[in-house]
Amino acid sequence: MAVERGARDDQRRAVEAVGQQTPSSIASVLHFWQFRPLADALLQENWDRVVSLGTALADRMRLSGDEAAELAGLPNPPGPPTDPA
């Protein structure tokens, strides 16, 4: 599926970018590698949602928060109240 190929290419690019980090940003690189297994597990667990949203975005080019939540089967609670002033 094209969406999956694109996601794998994005992952490859991210790994390449991390490999080009300077010593001053090594802490951010370590954080990436520390949390990558968790991120991969969450993506694997929710891949059907990712594909559903990606397909809808490819078809429609734009989704509201309510539309995205409905497609993903997740709640979309209202945001905090805004100050009218």
Q: Convert the pLDDT of each residue in 38-83 to its tens digit.
A: 888 888 998 999 999 999 999 999 999 999 999 999 898 887 777 7
Residue 79 lies in a domain: no
Distances 11 to 7, 36, 73 between C-alpha atoms, Å: 6, 11, 25
With both helix axes pointing from N to C terminus, report the angle between 26-45 and 2-19 in degrees, rounded to the nearest 10. Answer: 160
pTM of the model: 0.55
Number of structural domains (the chain) is: 1
Residue 77 lies in a domain: no
Residue 38 lies in a domain: yes
Residue 81 lies in a domain: no
Range of the domain at 47: 2-72
How far apart CA 6 and CA 3 sit, in angstroms, is: 5
Residue 8 lies in a domain: yes
How far apart CA 48 and CA 26 sit, in angstroms, is: 33
